């Protein structure tokens, strides 16, 4: 029984009809009809999980996505995310918790949806995939299905105001499972997974039936296709600055909390050179690996 997921799907389908959004799905036959699997998709917008999940419906499957804990804490989205049995990822807490929960869910035969990049790509091209998604599939011994979505970033993506535009074409594609052997190297599998996702993205971009309305509308096209989106290198530089800013904000919050606690109990808070430094990115922030 899915008392939340089923009506949410119904609401999404109604929204598609009202907005005149056509969703084209390719390759759903690559998703197992039953049993566990991990779906790994590119990440270009805030609605990706809706459309990748919609595409999996053609295989008769419901996908449980890993998403930031903040989404679960929201008063509106939180109850829906929990009701649909998605997986919260606490980036400031136990980073392996999502892996343990995913393994448990896979043991129950569920399909887990992952965005290996860990954040939306401003270049709209796959890059910088973390190894946690491949590790998840390898450790559970389940199919690792590459996926791609295209078009929904025109509605809602990072750094732009939502644009509830009518008549937008959406495309979702799935490919054959990424091959791997028991005990395979996660980095090699991650590389093959990323290449498969990139091939699917390239295919969807090539066949996408709509074009920008004018020069100002070229923002949603990647730079190599004549769009004004940042190049992958520029997007990575922006993302790194954002990560540093977030770490600084978290560090400042911890220091403020420690100072408040010190004022209450008469002890001095740690600060200056004794405080935690801003460390470089870990190998895999998604899972801590």
Total tally of structural domains belonging to the chain: 1
Whether residue 99 is contained in a domain is answered as yes
pLDDT surpasses 90 at 84: yes
pLDDT surpasses 50 at 279: no
Q: Please provide the distance, in angstroms rounded to a whole number, between the alpha carbons at the two ends of the chain.
A: 35
Structure confidence at residue 164 (pLDDT): 95
- 188-225 confidence digits (pLDDT tens): 999 999 999 999 999 999 999 999 999 999 999 999 99
The residue written with tokens 């093959």 in the block is: 192
Please provide the average confidence, as pLDDT, over all residues in the chain: 89
Whether residue 277 is contained in a domain is answered as no
pLDDT surpasses 60 at 262: yes
Structure confidence at residue 288 (pLDDT): 37
Q: Are strands 144-150 and 111-114 parallel, antiparallel or unpaired?
A: unpaired
Q: Residue range 111-133: average pLDDT? A: 94
pLDDT class for 124, splitting at 50, 70, 90?
Answer: very high
Whether residue 230 is contained in a domain is answered as no
Whether residue 269 is contained in a domain is answered as no
How far is it, in rounded angstroms, from Cα 137 to Cα 140? 5
Predicted structure pTM score:
0.86
Whether residue 43 is contained in a domain is answered as yes
Q: Which domain does 196 fall in, by range? A: 5-214
| DSSP, res 126 | -
Of 114, 174, 127, 176, residue with least CA distance to 147: 174
pLDDT class for 285, splitting at 50, 70, 90?
Answer: very low
Whether residue 164 is contained in a domain is answered as yes
Domain CATH code at residue 150: 3.40.1130.10
Structure confidence at residue 266 (pLDDT): 61
Whether residue 242 is contained in a domain is answered as no
Whether residue 110 is contained in a domain is answered as yes
């Amino acid at each position: 029984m899915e008392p939340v997921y089923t009506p949410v799907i119904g609401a999404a389908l109604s929204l598609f009809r009202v907005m005149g959004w056509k969703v084209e799905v390719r390759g759903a036959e690559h998703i197992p009809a039953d049993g566990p699997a991990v779906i790994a998709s590119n990440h270009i917008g805030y609605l990706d999980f809706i459309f990748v999940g919609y595409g999996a419906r053609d295989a008769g499957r419901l996908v449980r996505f890993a998403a930031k804990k903040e989404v679960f804490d929201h008063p509106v989205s939180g109850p829906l995310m929990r009701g649909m049995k998605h997986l919260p990822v606490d980036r400031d807490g136990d980073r392996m918790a999502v892996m343990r929960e995913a393994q448990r869910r896979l043991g129950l035969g569920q399909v887990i949806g992952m965005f290996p990049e860990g954040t939306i790509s401003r270049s709209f091209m796959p890059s910088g995939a973390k190894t946690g998604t491949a590790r998840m599939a390898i450790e559970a011994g389940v199919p690792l299905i590459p996926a791609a979505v295209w078009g929904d970033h025109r509605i809602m993506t990072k750094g732009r105001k939502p644009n509830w535009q009518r008549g937008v074409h959406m495309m979702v594609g799935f490919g054959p499972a990424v091959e791997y052997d028991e005990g395979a190297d996660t980095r090699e599998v991650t590389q093959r997974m990323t290449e498969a996702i990139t091939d699917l993205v390239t295919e969807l971009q090539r066949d996408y039936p709509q074009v920008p309305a004018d020069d100002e509308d070229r923002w949603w096209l990647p730079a190599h296709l004549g769009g004004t989106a940042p190049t992958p290198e520029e997007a990575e530089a922006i993302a790194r600055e954002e990560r540093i800013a977030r770490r600084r904000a978290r560090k400042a919050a911890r220091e403020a909390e420690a100072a408040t606690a010190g004022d209450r109990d008469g002890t001095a808070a740690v600060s200056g050179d004794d405080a935690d430094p801003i460390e470089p990115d870990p190998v895999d922030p998604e899972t801590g690996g």
